[in-house]
Amino acid sequence: MTNAARRTTPCAWRLLALAAAWPLAATLGGPADAPRGAVHSLPAASRSYEVLVPPLPAKDLVNLAMAVYLHPSTQPSLARAKADYWPVLRDRKCLMVLPKSRGKKMWLAGEDKMVTDVIADVQTRYSVDAKRIVLMGAAGGGQVALRLADQLPGKFRAAIVISTSPGVVRGSRYEWFYPNRKVLKTCPYFVINHITQGSALMYWRQVQAKLAPAGASISILPVTGKPDEYLPPPKPLGAWLGQVLSGKHPTALPDPQAAAVAKMLRPCADAWAKAFPTTRPAPRGKAITKDGKVLRLTVAAPADFERSEREHARDAGGGPLTQIRLEHKTWPITIRFDARATAAPMAATLAAEEKATRLRGLLYQVYRRQDLTAGGRKWAVKVGSITYPDRRRGWVSAWFVHAAAPIKADPKRWLTVLVADETQQPEAAELAGIVKAALAHVAAAPAPPPPATAPGRK
């Protein structure tokens, strides 16, 4: 593929391409008519709710599971939810309970108590297994579900939140929601968000990364299709719900967006590793030298690269980092050279930084790790991708090569070279030449002492 053809794909993540490569984007929604359930009224209150009951013989309507569905704030109609989610629940012998908010724009303060009153009333009318009550909510209803699960640990078997921003109203304040760790050890979460809800997805991934080591089970499924507060159920929901209702604590499902990105970019990582030994280095440009507080960094810019104005702020602040950043004159390819002096050894610092990146909720994937020799140094190399939401461009996936090597066998003074390609169609041989040139022409030495200050006149 020629460079001209290759670069026609914009840097932003293309949702159409994602949908084509994404088998989990399909949903179970269909055109079936919404079923009608029994309507009950709360005692001593002018509130009613609807219950859908599985079509079972009377003798089998005992110890039923129950799912409480809380509708989106601005979409009180329950027809689509009943048409789409009821078959999933019905097939698992689960009641579907549907209370309604009186709010026109959001669920009203205090209506979370109305939901718990509905649950208690259902338990007086039907044979319900109290250990198998599931909360479901879409958009504002999802926020109510999050708050209830958080406030009543041990009450709910699972929480399914749909198109829900991870925030809750606490009094007069709107805050980011951080789940109760005790709740998540026994109450798994299933999060369904549209692919365009980048900030929400990134936050849920942060929560997932931070709490998974403590035993939390959070499955995150971005879906494609028409963006809406209401989203129909993705196919994996049925099997997941079956595990939950059988008493199992399910393992978090694989992230389909991560799988789609890997399908697109992993082949380049393998091709790059094959091309590197035989590819000639990219032509060498002019040398650039920069003095930091601790180290002097010297690099040679490969042809077609120029100095970037986005060098690290910590560098300008006089910290123990010297950085030179280059950008390709035409394409979204960058090279970052760092000379670093750290308190911890190189390997420990790199491991901590990789963990911190994952905890930020970014889709960070490493496809290859290997050692390479170049420029008289042995480099620890990883090849992977990082995917993040950008307000202007949508989802962006950067394919990268990161290499690190100590300076003169000192594990606390070291070099890193990072080459990142955001074209979405990286050329393995071209990038192998760029990386080889970058590794061959980078050096560091102690920074010269600052110039002496001239003594003042007497």
Here the tokens at position 432 are 């192998």
Other Cβ atoms within 10 Å of 437 Cβ, number: 27
> Residue 317: what pLDDT?
64
Cβ density class 104-123: b for 16+ within 10 Å, e for less: eebbeeebbebbebbbebbe
Amino acid at site 358: R
Give the whole-angstrom CA distance, residue 321 versus residue 334: 18
Give the whole-angstrom CA distance, residue 382 versus residue 299: 21
Of residues 142, 190, 201, the one with CA closest to residue 169: 142
> What's the angle, vertex CA 376, arms to CA 374 and CA 378, rounded to 5?
65
In this predicted structure, the answer to whether residue 23 has a pLDDT above a threshold of 50 is no
Same fold, 31-254 and 259-446: no
What are 215-224's pLDDT values in tens digits? Answer: 889 999 999 8
> Residue 294: what pLDDT?
92
- CATH number of the 259-446 domain: 3.40.1000.10
Cβ(190)–Cβ(138) below 8 Å: no
pLDDT band at 8 (very low <50, low <70, confident <90, very high): very low
pLDDT band at 37 (very low <50, low <70, confident <90, very high): confident
In this predicted structure, the answer to whether residue 26 has a pLDDT above a threshold of 70 is no
Contacts of 449 (CB under 8 A, 6+ apart): none
> What's the angle, vertex CA 33, arms to CA 27 and CA 36, rounded to 5?
115
Of residues 296, 332, 336, 329, the one with CA closest to residue 312: 336
pLDDT band at 4 (very low <50, low <70, confident <90, very high): very low
In this predicted structure, the answer to whether residue 113 has a pLDDT above a threshold of 70 is yes
pTM of the predicted structure, to 2 decimals: 0.86
Of residues 136, 150, 140, 152, the one with CA closest to residue 96: 136
State which H helix or E strand residue 407 sits in. Answer: strand 394-407
Give the whole-angstrom CA distance, residue 64 versus residue 229: 29
Give the whole-angstrom CA distance, residue 372 versus residue 392: 37
Here the tokens at position 349 are 């610092």
pLDDT band at 11 (very low <50, low <70, confident <90, very high): very low
Averaged pLDDT for residues 283-291: 92
Higher pLDDT pick, 18 / 403:
403
Residue matched to tokens 């901590």: 352
Q: What is the mean pLDDT of the chain?
A: 87
Give the whole-angstrom CA distance, residue 162 versus residue 29: 14
Of residues 270, 280, 272, the one with CA closest to residue 302: 280
pLDDT band at 156 (very low <50, low <70, confident <90, very high): very high
In this predicted structure, the answer to whether residue 228 has a pLDDT above a threshold of 90 is no
What are 431-443's pLDDT values in tens digits? Answer: 999 999 999 999 9
Beta strands in 264-376, from DSSP E residues, in sequence order: 284-291, 295-302, 305-307, 321-328, 333-341, 363-374
Of residues 199, 147, 149, the one with CA closest to residue 171: 147
Averaged pLDDT for residues 252-280: 96
The domain limits of the chain are 31-254, 259-446
Instruction: Work out the percent of the chain whose per-residue pLDDT is above 70.
Output: 87
> Residue 3: what pLDDT?
45
What are 165-184's pLDDT values in tens digits? Answer: 776 555 566 666 777 777 88
> What's the angle, vertex CA 96, arms to CA 61 and CA 145, rounded to 5?
135
> Residue 173: what pLDDT?
63
> Residue 24: what pLDDT?
38
Averaged pLDDT for residues 55-72: 96
> Residue 456: what pLDDT?
59
Burial class (CB in 10 A: 0-12, 13-18, 19+), 271: middle
pLDDT band at 36 (very low <50, low <70, confident <90, very high): confident
Higher pLDDT pick, 355 / 103:
355
Give the whole-angstrom CA distance, residue 193 versus residue 203: 12
In this predicted structure, the answer to whether residue 296 has a pLDDT above a threshold of 50 is yes
Domain 31-254, second-level architecture = 3-Layer(aba) Sandwich (3.40)
Least confident of 14-28, 170-184, 285-299: 14-28
